[in-house]
């Protein structure tokens, strides 16, 4: 996780008080930094691959937590999956009725990078930058949302409330 995306999540948490309850992170394998320390317990990190920081090895596009989450975090993942829209909808399904989703993704302007190690995209690996327009469309099930682009960082960010 690069510093601008981390800072977005930290700032969003400072602006909106945290309710007690479960946080679920989709794509939580620590490739180049983690936001886990920003959140209280209980915390479950789900990823399709085992690795540092992963609590549950599963496909977040179909997995559901043992109880509704008060927060779902999906940072720097959507650009690495063809199922990005499904993953955002699944985040909505995971949340309780007042739940909040925190999302960061690489915008189309950011250089492609591997989900494996942050280096060059490997042969056969999926990659597509996420535009603000795409993210707004995927967030339609949510009651309300705020989407922000950071051209300097090459990112798109969102907070969405169920």
Instruction: Compute φ and ψ for 14, nearest 5 degrees.
Output: -70, -30
Query: Do residues 30 and 52 make contact, with C-beta atoms less than 8 angstroms apart?
Result: yes
Q: Where do the domains of the chain lie, and which CATH numbers do they carry? A: 3-161 (3.40.50.150)
d(CA 160, CA 162): 7
Please check whether residue 61 is in contact with residue 89, taking contact to mean a CB–CB distance below 8 angstroms: no
Mean pLDDT of 7-23: 93
Q: How many CB atoms lie within 10 A of CB 109?
A: 15
Query: Using CA atoms, how far apart are residues 117 and 30, in angstroms rounded to an integer?
Result: 9
The pLDDT tens digits of the residues spanning 96-149 come to 999 999 999 999 999 888 888 888 889 989 999 999 999 999 999 999 999 999
Candidates 116, 113, 91, 105; CA nearest to 25 is: 91
Question: Looking at residues 17-38, what average pLDDT do you find?
Answer: 91
Nearest to 55 by CA among 27, 81, 35: 27
- Contact between 78 and 87 under an 8 Å Cβ cutoff? The reply is yes
Question: Structure tokens of 104?
Answer: 């960061």
Residue 45 clears pLDDT 90, i.e. is over it = yes
Q: Could you give the count of Cα atoms lying within 13 Å of 122 in the half-sphere of its Cβ?
A: 7
């Amino acid at each position: 996780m690069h510093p601008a995306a981390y800072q977005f999540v930290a700032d969003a948490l400072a602006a909106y008080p945290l309710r007690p309850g479960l946080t679920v992170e989709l794509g939580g394998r620590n490739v180049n930094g983690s936001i886990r320390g920003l959140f209280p317990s209980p915390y479950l990190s789900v990823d399709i691959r085992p690795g540092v920081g992963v609590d549950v090895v599963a496909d977040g596009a179909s997995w559901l937590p043992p109880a509704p989450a008060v927060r779902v975090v999906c940072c720097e993942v959507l650009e690495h999956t063809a199922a990005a829209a499904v993953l955002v909808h699944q985040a909505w399904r995971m949340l309780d009725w007042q739940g909040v989703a925190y999302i960061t993704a690489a915008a189309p302007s950011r250089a492609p990078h591997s989900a494996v190690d942050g280096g060059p995209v490997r042969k056969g690996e999926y990659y597509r930058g996420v535009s603000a327009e795409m993210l707004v469309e995927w967030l339609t099930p949510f009651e309300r949302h705020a989407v922000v682009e950071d051209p300097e960082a090459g990112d798109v960010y969102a907070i969405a409330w169920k």
